[in-house]
Structure formats: structure tokens, C-alpha cells
Amino acid sequence: MVVNTRVNIAGVVFVNPVIAASGTYGFGREYSDYVDLNKIGGISVKGLTLQPRLGNDTPRIAETPSGILNSVGLQNPGVDAFIRDEIPYLKQFDTKIIANIAGNTVSDYIEMAEKLDCTGIDILEVNVSCPNVKKGCLAFGTTMSGVAEVTKAVRKATKKPIMIKLTPNVSDIASIALSAEAEGADAVSLINTITGMVIDVNTRRPVLANNTGGLSGPAVRPVAVRMVHEVYKSVSIPVVGMGGICSAEDAIQFILAGASAIMVGTWNFNNPRACSDVAEGIKSYMEENSISDVSKLTGELIMNGD
Amino acid sequence: MVVNTRVNIAGVVFVNPVIAASGTYGFGREYSDYVDLNKIGGISVKGLTLQPRLGNDTPRIAETPSGILNSVGLQNPGVDAFIRDEIPYLKQFDTKIIANIAGNTVSDYIEMAEKLDCTGIDILEVNVSCPNVKKGCLAFGTTMSGVAEVTKAVRKATKKPIMIKLTPNVSDIASIALSAEAEGADAVSLINTITGMVIDVNTRRPVLANNTGGLSGPAVRPVAVRMVHEVYKSVSIPVVGMGGICSAEDAIQFILAGASAIMVGTWNFNNPRACSDVAEGIKSYMEENSISDVSKLTGELIMNGD
Amino acid sequence: MNLNALVISNEILCKNNMLMRLFVPDIAAKAKPGQFLNIICSSDNKLILRRPISIMDADAEKGCVDIGYEIRGEGTMLLAEQKKGAKIDVMGPLGNGFCIDDNFSNIAIVGGGIGIYPLYFLAKSLGECNIDVFMGYQCAGKVILEDEFKTEGCNVYLSTDDGSRGHSGFITELFSKTYKPGRYDMIFVCGPEIMSRKVVLMVRSNGERSQVSLEERMGCGIGACLVCSCEVKTAEGIGRKTVCKDGPVFNGDIVFPEVD
Amino acid sequence: MNLNALVISNEILCKNNMLMRLFVPDIAAKAKPGQFLNIICSSDNKLILRRPISIMDADAEKGCVDIGYEIRGEGTMLLAEQKKGAKIDVMGPLGNGFCIDDNFSNIAIVGGGIGIYPLYFLAKSLGECNIDVFMGYQCAGKVILEDEFKTEGCNVYLSTDDGSRGHSGFITELFSKTYKPGRYDMIFVCGPEIMSRKVVLMVRSNGERSQVSLEERMGCGIGACLVCSCEVKTAEGIGRKTVCKDGPVFNGDIVFPEVD
Ligand SMILES: Cc1cc2nc3c(=O)[nH]c(=O)nc-3n(C[C@H](O)[C@H](O)[C@H](O)COP(=O)(O)OP(=O)(O)OC[C@H]3O[C@@H](n4cnc5c(N)ncnc54)[C@H](O)[C@@H]3O)c2cc1C
Ligand SMILES: Cc1cc2nc3c(=O)[nH]c(=O)nc-3n(C[C@H](O)[C@H](O)[C@H](O)COP(=O)(O)OP(=O)(O)OC[C@H]3O[C@@H](n4cnc5c(N)ncnc54)[C@H](O)[C@@H]3O)c2cc1C
Ligand SMILES: Cc1cc2nc3c(=O)[nH]c(=O)nc-3n(C[C@H](O)[C@H](O)[C@H](O)COP(=O)(O)O)c2cc1C
Ligand SMILES: Cc1cc2nc3c(=O)[nH]c(=O)nc-3n(C[C@H](O)[C@H](O)[C@H](O)COP(=O)(O)O)c2cc1C
Ligand code: FES
Ligand code: FES
């Protein structure tokens, strides 16, 4: 059976619904020895800031049961270097380019959006959910008004499709998503990491130099699937789902719950071919289950008791 | 070295800081073949409601990476049956009795608190955090005003020490804890489960009959440790920590983060002796590290960069 | 971990099905038909929950317990990888087993798929009865314990869903052809819910007695967490009991309460 | 999982230390001293992160790579349990190794503990140099590769923290006694940070060259996640490089930038 794995998000057509998650895939080139970048739908690049950032002290990672905690703290070469050095490289491939931006202030977001507006990127992912920086970012993402403010400002600053990346560290993620939609977001992506801490009982100190970090990986998957479903039910813009995806089966959970596309993050560290393996696996699932179009699976969850 | 494992929470002295978590230990008697109930600090009994409840449909449990999702939905014989049938049994042991109550309405909480006031229980644990019932409970737990309202009402209704059990499904757990403290809570316990969902991609239905359930077990531990620390820094009443504790080392993470006592839940299913094993392990850790009094460890976390 | 059970053997029984013999004298001494073990399948605790598996046979003298199981998911797959000589963590015997009455003389046993495993220990324990065993399988390749039941002197009736052995169709069809009120003193049932329900209701509609072993996903396995609830008739209407502790074997009169 | 490496042997080298030989021809053909493998230690993926372990030796003809490792935590413990014949998932060779110059004639190698493993492959690759190897261990029981370095014609200087073998104290003491500006063309360093820092700064303060292999916790191992950053001197002041891709071996002139 011929199956169509293409998905259209805010007018951008991805060859398949698998996108590499921001912060785990560098600028794509690092994985090019392992994955044919033409074979994955998109790449969300490392979170960018207006100025280059050195990030937090090390250690920046800890392994937890079925998860990891990271506190990279947005180390990146800055948006200008990204435009200069990375976009031309990525443009060689079919994969779509998602620029992930994180600001300390609303004007940071505006300035970055303006700089990226006339570049070759496909979607702007507005990160209001990084738990590892002291100022801005997550502070915006935990309230409806903060998300609305950033979304509105970025919406004005660019003609590119914008996707707001939401934090799970909230009581009601569906309302937060609604406030992004109301201010003109073309899509939302979720979940970013859940704030966590691991303590070394011998030194009596947190393992991470930054004390806390963001939890990701399979451990968070049930939480992420639930949140994707809540957001899907409340908004009418596309939802990009992530959190602990390791396999096609995991990806399909998110798609059934309402995701139009999914992202793979942490699992790239375990399996550098994770993104293309998941894409292949989705195709096989479609073939086995006679699903002609992957977008027909989105939201096809059947609730019990209905 | 002689070590003192006793802890005092709101005037109640526990032989050690290990308490069986509500909903995982029945009414204690179920575990008496495996554990000498005199050897564990306390037992928080299955969440009680005013009327007997049958709970949700089955399946009520799903295994997730390093965690489980449950949707028991507060099946219990009701508070009257508890008072009649279970308190006399538990009173034979040194272990302290914590009655965990969950209401649909504020008056449910009041009525249960009144009924339990003149019984042999030691602490009333006010559950405003069960994600598996349609009405009440978690609805109170996610706002400061809801928690304040329930705490205030229960405070008036009983002279027993009250401990408010908090949900992690919130943006700012420290503020929620503060509102409990402000209304007279003697302690807080956290975390209850994080709402999650697992989907069977073959049936396209959630695995749990109730669709969503509460995530617990090692997967949530880093989140729980972080939250215990946040709450500890903000309130001055004792904090009882839980979430994924399997070993003495895990327990000590919580104690260093600020817990005066800890609870073991999910891990009892894996190891029916978990509570007493953790208590033993804490004692060994104290001996090895020459810690004379376990309460001296509470909050002894050293932050990096300070 | 409490590595109290020694794997004596762990061999393929038929497609996807394994027979494991454990040396675990404490449990062997106490085991009764219908009871189960609750097993840690992964040696590194990758899986949190234990897996309930019925006791298929127990030899108190040798200190051995046999279990038969089908590989269904990650847990049973890891169990299948356990080698002779390995030590595993087993709780048991758990639950309430079948009630056996010395006055039984004519007995029917109806089992489907993995539900057949615990029925073997039952048949062995029934003594001098006349036993008709009705066993339903998916296909010929999954027929298990046929000879073993025959060796115990049982009359074996066989069906397969695909007709590759015995009667073609469901075992309930074969049973209903043979069953007549008054013919059996007790009917023991274990298998997929749809099968058990059919047999129990048929028997119950004739005012006769049955005992049925139920399955439910479990947390604690010892009656503490109420994860494994099943509905039963009570004096007040419909109540709930735990499959792990009140069951897994229940009197056919009280289960499937919603139907009458 | 990409089970590309076959375990040929996995044996105890000394207390808590193991030597594993892998058949992994692709990697063996490319490996350079100072590069490392990134290994999935648990066969059931219980651990998410790979563990970085240096290449201790590589034989392109036989297709074999050797690694030496100390059991420190769960990952290395699981690795130690891998049996001959097992297949494991290994990425490599990763990172930038040591730079070897054909003109080298006098070389010092300073290693501490597990840092000594990669230095063996280095020593073997240095050709006809005169090599002084300074190796520090916790105690006599943990002395590794002494004979192997001697067989390669190196002059071995040994110390143990507790004085149970060789010089009593830190290897930096032994090195600083021997070291004189001009004596070595290059000084190679790998070990605990405190040791590396001391040696590198000593050498640097004399305006001489060193190469040092650093350790940092890793995520991806290939330069994508920036988890393994270390500080280095750059034209603009202090910058960061990745230990996994820019390193693990760095020029001694740029590391530990905060000190000058
Ligand atoms: C009282 C009792 C006795 C049983 N006896 C046998 C037996 O003798 N032989 C045999 O092959 N099987 C038996 N089963 C079924 C067996 O428990 C499941 O096949 C097994 O738990 C599947 O685990 P898994 O990890 O391989 O599958 P998965 O589907 O990956 O398991 C996921 C989760 O669901 C639970 N689960 C899945 N299927 C069942 C089920 N049918 N019943 C209960 N929990 C389930 C698992 O325990 C686990 O927690 C029995 C079940 C019960 C309740
Ligand atoms: C480039 C490089 C080369 C190395 N070469 C060797 C070698 O040849 N032989 C050897 O014995 N060891 C070597 N190490 C150290 C080795 O990686 C750690 O001892 C190992 O990761 C510990 O894993 P664990 O699960 O046993 O310990 P745990 O402490 O349980 O590990 C927890 C986490 O911390 C990480 N971690 C712990 N210690 C280190 C460390 N020192 N460096 C980096 N990550 C760490 C682990 O990878 C894991 O993610 C090297 C490290 C690096 C960075
Ligand atoms: C090391 C690391 C760095 C990350 N950096 C970013 C980032 O810069 N911007 C961002 O929006 N998300 C970042 N994330 C979050 C991921 O994009 C993703 O939302 C999260 O990890 C959940 O997906 P996963 O479980 O598949 O990893 C990072 C995650 C990790 C593990
Ligand atoms: C099966 C099950 C039932 C539970 N029932 C209750 C309950 O009735 N009342 C309550 O306050 N918490 C209940 N909890 C939450 C636990 O008490 C505990 O807060 C949570 O599981 C986190 O701890 P753990 O990771 O050690 O299990 C339940 C948890 C489980 C797994
Ligand atoms: S599994 Fe816990 S009560 Fe049955
Ligand atoms: S470990 Fe990812 S950049 Fe080095």
C-alpha cells in the first residue's frame, strides 16, 4: 500500500511527522553521519538567544530512572551566527528548519523574530519554557498573560509561521495553549522539560552544578501524552507533541492523542538514528494498518466510556 | 554508634521517618505478613470518603517507564467502616495512624474530620490531590483559594494535627503550601500523583478504563525532590516527602531536600518489605555517617554555587 | 530483592509458551490449586510491577513449583530469558484457590488458552473423581497439557478456534453439547472472560454451581491497593472484591453481577 | 539497538577494573589514541545514556578494540556483566585524539587512575620516541598496565596515594621532580582533574606544550547537545568547547582558562 507520511503544519509541508527536538540535535549537521537529514521531517535547532551564551556550569546532565535531567542553560552561538553559519548548511536538505528562540525579555523575542524573518527558516518555535535560565523564558511560559504577551509581540514581528513551545510546569496547559492561539500562534509544541532535582547523598549537593534541571525521556511520556490530548481538545491549531518518544509506537500514541507531528529529543542520545527509525516505523505501522495518510491518525483516540 | 531515628511531626512521635503512602498499603493489615508494623513510623491508610465508594472501572493500572499509572478512584469502605473495623486493628502497633480523607465538597471534609476527631488516629491527612475522581478533591488542590478553604474548614472541625496532601499538577507548589500553612495546617505532604495517560496503539484507546491516571514511582522522583525542596524553603511547618522512593538513598535525598519524614508508595508493590527496608537503610546510613539524629539531616542540602 | 526462587528449568512448551520449574520449598509446601505467584520478571528491576502467574503444579516433597506461561509482553519475555540456575523474586502462594469437596464425584473443568495452566493442578488434586476436561485453544500448535490431563485419568474434549485440532470453534460450544443439569457436582472454569462468562451463566441459569478464576491487572497482589477489583453480587446489590486476595477463584454465583 | 560490537572477552584486570575486547572492525580500522567509544551498557535499555570509555588499544587487522574500565556505578557494573559472545551497541571512534608529531623524540606521559587506559594506545603509537611514563594509582592493588608500558620500551615511574607501591604520594610530585623545561617535546596528560590541572599549569608556566584529555558527563557524545562543555581560552576571552567532539584531548595552552 502506498502511504502518505507528509504533514502540513501552518502551510509548511514536512516529508514526515518526525522532527528532531530542540537542544538535542545541535544544528543537524552533528547527526548527519548517522541520519540522512532528507529522511526526517524537520529539525528544531538548539535554542537561540540574541547574544551568544555560554550556558551553565557543568555537570549539566544526570541520569534518572527512565529519564535524564539537563541544565545546559541555552549555550548557543547567538542568532546571528546561526543565520550566518547554520541556515545555509541546513538548506541543502529537504528537512524543514525550525528556529527555536528564547528571550530574557519580550524585546529579545521581537528582535530575534525580526532577524529570522527574512531567512530560510520554515517555522519559528518560540521557547517560553526553558527551565534552566535565570531570567525570562519559563517566567513567561507559566502564565496565560506571559504567553499572550510574547506570542502577540512575535506575531507582529514576523510573517513566518510561529509555534509556541509550552512548559508542562503548569496547572492547566490547555488554557495556556488557548492564550497562544488567541494571539495568533500557528501551532503549539509540547512538552518542554519538567523541573527536577537529583541529590548526591554523599556530597549532600545536587548532582547538577545548576542545582535543578529539566526532566525528559521516557519517564515523562505519560504526562506528555495526557497534556497533548488536553491541548488538542482545547485549541484548533496544530499540536506538535513530544516527551519521551523512543519508538514509532510512542510516536503514534502522541498522534492519536492529537499531535500533527512529533519530536524526538532525549532518545537521540541513546540511538543516534532515533529520528529516522521512528519515521520508518510510522510508515510500517501505516502500511500494516492500511492507513493511507498519517494526518488521518491525528486525534483518532477513542475514549473509554464514551 | 547509637542513632535516634525518631521524628516529631506536629507533636506526633514516629519511631522512624518512614510512612507507608496512602492507597498503596491498604489499612496496614494486608502487609503484616511481610513487615512488622511496629518497625515503620506510620501508615497513611487508603483515601477515605464519607460514603463507601466502588471506584473506577478496570483496568486501573498500567506500567510505564520506571513508573505506574493508577486510576483506582478512591475505592474504600467509607469513613465509618474505617473507624469501626480498622482503627482497633492498627492500634495494636507502635506505628502511627494517618487517616487520609478526600471529599467532593468542603462539607464532606468537615464531616469526616469531625467523625475522626474522637478516634485513635494520630494525624489527619487532607487529600486535595486525587486525580482519579470526577468531583472535588483535586479541584481544590490546584488553587491557593481551594486549598485555603479546605484547610480552614478542616482546621475548625478537628483538634487532631492536620497535614495537607498536595498535588504536583500545579505551576507553583510552594504558594499552594503557603496557603495551607496560613490556614493552620500542621504539616504538608507531597507529592501525590501526576496526571498521565497511556494509549494502546492497537485498540486506539487509553489503557486505563478511566482514560487518565496518576503517575507514581521512580520516574517522578526528580520532580518530587525538587518540589519538596521548594516547599521546604517556603513554609515553616514540617514537610513529608514522597514520590518514587525505593531505597534509603532515595529517602535521604528527600530528607536532605527538606522532608521531616518520607512515604513509600509504589515500591511496596515491587518489594512488600520496602517500608521496613528503607527504615533499616536509613539507620545504616546514619551509623555509617555518624549522624546521631535523623531530624538533623532535614534540609541539610548544600546548594551548588552558594 | 528477595531472590527466594531458584530456576530449575525453563523450557519451551509450545509456540510462545514456556514451562518453568522453580525450587521454592516454602511455597511448594503451601500451594493450593488456583493460587498464583507474583513474580519479578527482570533481574535489574526495569519493570516495577510483578506479573501474576498461576501455579500449574506443586510438589511439596521436592520443594518444586511449576508454572506455565505465554510470552505476551515485556514481562513474560524477560521471564522466558531466565536461565536454569538463576534466582528470581517470587511472592506466593497468593490468593484463594479452588474449593475442593471430598464428596465430588462428577466434575467438569472448562479452560481456554493460558487459563488451562492452573486447571492441571486442580485436576491432579481432585482425587478419585470422574473428570471431563474441556480445553479450548487458538490452534493445534498451542495445545498444551493434553497428555498430562489424560495421564490423570481425565476425559479430554478439545477445540481450536481455527479447527486445526479437535472441535472447530469455541470450547463453550463443545461444553454446551455435553453439559446437562445434574451431570456435574461442580464446574471449574478458567480462561478468557468471554468464555468464563458464557460457561458460568449457562451453569448458573440452571441453578447449578461453578467456580471461576478471574484475571485482572494487579498492583500489590495482596489486597492492599484495590487495583484488581472485580464486581460481585452482594447483599446490598453490586459490590467489589479483589481478584488478588478474595479471588482469583470466585463462586460462580456471585461474579458477573450485571447480567441478572 | 545497533548491536555492532561482539564481546570477545571481558575479564578482571585488577580490583574493580575490567578489560574488554570487542570485535568491531569498522571502529578498529579508524581508531586513534585519545578517542573513545560511547557504549550502551544495559541490554534492556534500562539506562538511557551511553557511557564514554576510551580506546585502550586497537588492532585494525584483527578488527579488535580493547577498553579498560573501572566499575563505578550502574553502567560500568552492567558492562562488567556482559559475557563473551554478547553483542553490544557501541558508537565510535568519537572525539579528537592526541596529536602525534613525527619529530617527537622525548615524551612524557602523565596518567592517573583510569586516565592511564587511553595513554597505553598513545604510547604504542608514538613510535621510536624516548617515553617517560608517570602513573599514579590509589594503591598497589590498582596498578594497571605497568608491564605493558614497559614492553613498549617506556621508562615507568609509579606512585600510589597510600605508598603501597612506588613513590608514596601523588604522581604530580614524582613528575615535578623529573620534569625540567626543555626535557620533553610534548607532555601528554590524562587523569583526575586536579592532577591534569597541576601538570598542565606547571608545563604551561614554562611556556611548554602539553596535550590533556578531559572528562565531562555527556549526553549525545557527538557535539550536538552541549552537555559536555568545558571552558577554554579563546581570542575573545573565555569560551566553551565540547569535550566529546572538540576534545576529549585539548591543547594544554587553552584549557583551565580561569587560572591565568
Ligand atoms: C491470577 C492470574 C493468574 C494468571 N496465570 C497465568 C498463567 O498461569 N499463565 C500465563 O501465561 N498467564 C497468566 N496470567 C496472565 C499474566 O499475568 C499476563 O499474561 C502477564 O502479566 C503479562 O505480562 P507482560 O509483561 O508479558 O505483558 P504486558 O501486556 O506488557 O503487561 C503489561 C501490564 O499488564 C499486566 N497484564 C497484562 N495482561 C494481563 C493479564 N491477562 N492479567 C493480569 N495482568 C495482565 C501485566 O502484569 C503488566 O502489569 C495470569 C493472570 C492473573 C491475574
Ligand atoms: C572521554 C572519556 C573517556 C573515558 N574513558 C574511560 C576509560 O577508559 N575507563 C574508565 O574506567 N572510565 C572512563 N571514563 C569515565 C567513565 O565514563 C565513567 O566512569 C562512567 O561513565 C561511569 O558510569 P557508571 O554508570 O558506572 O557510573 P555512575 O556514576 O552511576 O554514572 C552516572 C552518570 O554520570 C556519568 N559519569 C559518571 N562518571 C563520569 C566520568 N568520570 N566522566 C564522564 N561521565 C561520567 C555516567 O556516564 C552516567 O551518565 C571516561 C570518561 C570520558 C568522558
Ligand atoms: C539536553 C537538552 C537540551 C534541550 N534544550 C532545549 C532548547 O534549547 N530549547 C527547547 O525548546 N527545548 C530544549 N530541550 C527540550 C526538548 O526539546 C524536549 O522538549 C524535551 O526534552 C522533551 O522531549 P524528549 O523527552 O524526547 O527529550 C532540551 C532537552 C534536552 C534533553
Ligand atoms: C494505587 C495507588 C493508589 C493511591 N491512592 C491514594 C489515595 O487514596 N490517597 C492519596 O492521598 N494518595 C494516593 N496515592 C498516591 C500515593 O500516596 C503517593 O502520593 C504517590 O503514589 C507518590 O508516591 P510513590 O511514587 O512512592 O508511589 C495512590 C497511589 C497509588 C499508586
Ligand atoms: S492487586 Fe492490589 S488489591 Fe489486588
Ligand atoms: S555530549 Fe553532547 S555535545 Fe558533548
Instruction: For C101-142, write each residue's pLDDT tens digit.
Output: 988 999 999 999 999 999 999 999 998 889 999 999 999 999
D115 and D69 part of one domain: no
D219 falls within a domain: yes
Question: CA-to-CA distance for D155 and C214, rounded, in angstroms?
Answer: 74
C124 and C147 part of one domain: yes
Which ligand lies nearest the alpha carbon of C94? 1
Assess B220–C contact: CB distance below 8 Å, yes or no.
no
- Could you tell me if the CB of B213 is within 6 A of ligand 4? no
Which chain D positions have a beta carbon within 8 Å of A61's beta carbon?
49, 217-219, 227
Assess B217–C contact: CB distance below 8 Å, yes or no.
yes
Q: DSSP string spanning C207-242?
A: T--EEEE-----SSSSSSS-TTEEEEEETTEEEEEE
| Average pLDDT value for chain D | 94
Residue C223 CA, closest ligand 5 atom number? 3
Q: How far is C17 from chain D (nearest CA, A)?
A: 21
Annotated catalytic residues of B are 130
Which ligand lies nearest the alpha carbon of C212? 1
Ordered by start, the domain boundaries in chain B are 7-54+75-194+217-297
Angle CA A86–A88–A90, to nearest 5: 70
Cell of B230: 521548594
Q: pLDDT tens across D2-59, in order?
A: 789 999 999 999 989 999 999 999 999 999 999 999 999 988 888 999 999 999 999 9
Q: Other CB atoms closer than 10 Å to residue D91's CB: what's the count?
A: 23
Q: Into how many domains does chain D fold?
A: 2
Taking CA atoms, what residue in D is nearest to C77?
Answer: D44
Give the torsion sign (CA, D171, D177, D178, D181).
positive
**Which protein residue's CA is at the shortest distance from atom 23 of ligand 3?**
A243
Position C5 confidence tier, pLDDT thresholds 50, 70, 90:
very high
A275 carries an active-site annotation? no
Interface of B with A in 230-269 (CB under 8 A): 244, 249, 252-253, 256-257
Residues C65 and C37: beta-carbon distance below 8 Å: yes
User: Does residue B243 register a pLDDT over 70?
Assistant: yes
D101 falls within a domain: no
- The predicted structure's pLDDT at residue C259: 67
Assess B200–C contact: CB distance below 8 Å, yes or no.
no
Q: pLDDT tens across C60-109, in order?
A: 999 999 999 999 999 999 999 999 999 999 999 999 999 999 889 999 99
CB contact under 8 A, D42 and C42: no
D133 falls within a domain: yes
The stretch D156-165 carries a mean pLDDT of 93
Taking CA atoms, what residue in D is nearest to C44?
Answer: D46
The stretch B3-30 carries a mean pLDDT of 97
CB pairs under 8 A between A and B: 156
Domain at C16, CATH number: 2.40.30.10
D153 falls within a domain: yes
Angle CA A283–A284–A288, to nearest 5: 120
Residue D226 CA, closest ligand 6 atom number? 3
Assess D48–C contact: CB distance below 8 Å, yes or no.
no
ipTM for the assembly: 0.96
Q: Which of A63, A200, A202, A266 to mutate to test the interface with D (most CBs of D within 10 A)?
A: A63
Candidate from B33, B61, B76 with C-beta closest to C219: B61
D121 and D63 part of one domain: no
SS (H, E, C) D45-69: CCCCCCEEEECCEEECCCCEEEEEE
| Exposed/middle/buried for residue A118 (C-beta within 10 Å: 0-12, 13-18, 19+) | exposed
Assess A161–D contact: CB distance below 8 Å, yes or no.
no
User: Does residue C1 register a pLDDT over 70?
Assistant: no
D20 and D133 part of one domain: no
B2: helix, strand or coil: coil
Interface of B with C in 272-301 (CB under 8 A): 272-273
CB contact under 8 A, B215 and A199: no
The stretch B122-137 carries a mean pLDDT of 85
C223 and C122 part of one domain: yes
Q: Does the domain spanning B7-54+75-194+217-297 belong to CATH 3.40.50.2000?
A: no
Per-residue pLDDT in tens (0 to 9) along chain A, 306 residues: 899 999 999 999 999 999 999 999 999 999 999 999 999 999 999 999 999 999 999 999 999 999 999 999 999 999 999 999 999 999 999 999 999 999 999 999 999 999 999 999 999 999 998 777 777 778 899 999 999 999 999 999 999 999 999 999 999 999 999 999 999 999 999 999 999 999 999 999 999 999 999 999 999 999 999 999 999 999 999 999 999 999 999 999 999 999 999 999 999 999 999 999 999 999 999 999 999 999 999 999 999 986
**E-state strands within D64-185:** 64-70, 87-88, 90-94, 106-112, 130-137, 155-160, 167-168
pTM here is 0.97
Cell of D40: 550502551
Which chain C positions have a beta carbon within 8 Å of D80's beta carbon?
none
Residues from C in contact with B at Cβ < 8 Å? 1-2, 40, 45, 47-50, 91, 216-230, 238-240, 245
**Which protein residue's CA is at the shortest distance from atom 22 of ligand 4?**
B243
Which chain B positions have a beta carbon within 8 Å of C224's beta carbon?
24-26, 30-31, 268
CB contact under 8 A, A211 and B67: no
Query: What range does the domain containing C18 cover?
Result: 2-94
Assess C41–D contact: CB distance below 8 Å, yes or no.
no
**Could you give the C-alpha distances from B175 to A144, B153, B180, B221, B230, in angstroms and in order?**
18, 19, 9, 21, 9
| Exposed/middle/buried for residue C33 (C-beta within 10 Å: 0-12, 13-18, 19+) | buried
CB pairs under 8 A between C and D: 8
D252 falls within a domain: yes
- The predicted structure's pLDDT at residue D207: 92
Which ligand lies nearest the alpha carbon of D73? 2
Domain at C124, CATH number: 3.40.50.80
What is the Å distance from ligand 3's center to A21 Cα?
Answer: 6
Question: CA-to-CA distance for A80 and C253, rounded, in angstroms?
Answer: 76
Interface of A with B in 172-191 (CB under 8 A): 172
CB contact under 8 A, B72 and C225: yes
| Exposed/middle/buried for residue C235 (C-beta within 10 Å: 0-12, 13-18, 19+) | exposed
Higher pLDDT among residues B137 and D256, named by residue: D256
- The predicted structure's pLDDT at residue C260: 63
Interface of B with A in 26-65 (CB under 8 A): 57, 64-65
Last residue of a domain, one of D94, D117, D138: D94
What is the Å distance from ligand 1's center to C51 Cα?
Answer: 6
Angle CA B31–B33–B35, to nearest 5: 65
Which ligand lies nearest the alpha carbon of B24? 4
Residue C69 CA, closest ligand 1 atom number? 11
Going by C-alpha positions, the residue among A143, A134, A106 that lies closest to residue A126 is A106
Last residue of a domain, one of D53, D68, D94: D94
Assess A138–B contact: CB distance below 8 Å, yes or no.
no
Largest CA distance in chain B: 58
Amino acid at A62: A
D81 falls within a domain: yes
C126 and C209 part of one domain: yes
Question: CA-to-CA distance for A7 and A229, rounded, in angstroms?
Answer: 19
Angle CA A54–D253–D203, to nearest 5: 135
H or E stretch covering A79: helix A79-81
Candidate from B169, B205, B222 with C-beta closest to A304: B205
**Which protein residue's CA is at the shortest distance from atom 4 of ligand 4?**
B23
**Which protein residue's CA is at the shortest distance from atom 7 of ligand 2?**
D53
Q: Other CB atoms closer than 10 Å to residue A11's CB: what's the count?
A: 9
Position D1 confidence tier, pLDDT thresholds 50, 70, 90:
low
Last residue of a domain, one of C70, C94, C118: C94
- Could you tell me if the CB of D223 is within 6 A of ligand 6? yes
Candidate from A199, A221, A300 with C-beta closest to B204: A300
